[in-house]
Structure 1
């Protein structure tokens, strides 16, 4: 849904860009999910991922979608900003580990472009 709304990362022409800067990562998470509600067994997931330079610290606004348990966050479109959604906490944690393994295995370093594609 996030990419379909116009956010980058799915194509070679419009990739995400890796950051390893802790301040940028923390700001991406805080700006996107800092005021997320506390829902048992769920956590706030942001896209573009926090470890990209394309996150909310780069500008734009937040958007969400029906079914994301964030009724006060409007939907939206465009190439900047971030999409947020409340998802199962275990799934969110697992995906974070998968991202870390990918960055290490593929040696995706600071300022390297990368894509996020769905396998459904």
Structure 2
């Protein structure tokens, strides 16, 4: 493996400037979701990871997918039939922007209180979880991920981890 990878890739959302930078490609950076700032998001991700879904550590990271069609398919398969609940929106884990989403296999799962029509008490590393969470938290997650992808130079195919912080 290459010890260092350098590039001048365009930023995560296309509006951030290209910049030269280097990373250690085999070391998956970690994005942290704060329990105090995003309690519903952190709770869902924690439950999903607790059921065996990947992204928690070095041995089972998520991998960024930059293909719009499969990202949309991941989102649609996880949340396409989500109910309309005022102030809530459907969150999927693993994130739609990964190769671990439902476009790449597995079945949907959920948890009690998530308001999603899917099996509960499902475990294992394949599949995705869906849960209705506070819409403002779900919307903020997009910004958190765009900043993370840009700041940590997580490019297409690159591994990364998701953690829960205070």
TM-score per shorter chain, which class?
over 0.9
Q: Deviations 1:21-43 (Å, cap 9, x if unpaired)? A: 10111000001000101111100
Using the size of structure 1 for normalisation, the TM-score is 0.97
* Alpha-carbon offset, residue 67 of structure 1: 1.2
* Alpha-carbon offset, residue 96 of structure 1: 1.2
What are the equivalent positions in structure 2 for 1:14-25 lying under 5 Å apart?
14-25=60-71
Which residue of 1 is the match for residue 139 of structure 2? 93
Q: Which runs of 5+ in 1 are unaligned?
A: none
In 2: Cα distance, 1:101 partner to 1:32 partner: 24
Cα RMSD, aligned residues only: 0.7
> How many pairs does the alignment contain?
119
Which consecutive segments of 4 or more residues in structure 1 shift more than 6 A?
none
Choose 1 or 2 for highest CA Rg.
Answer: 2
In 1: Cα distance, 2:97 partner to 2:147 partner: 13
In 2: Cα distance, 1:97 partner to 1:24 partner: 20
2:50 aligned with 1:4: yes
Larger strand percent: 2
In 2: Cα distance, 1:79 partner to 1:95 partner: 22
What are the equivalent positions in structure 2 for 1:57-96 lying under 5 Å apart?
57-70=103-116, 72-75=117-120, 76-96=122-142
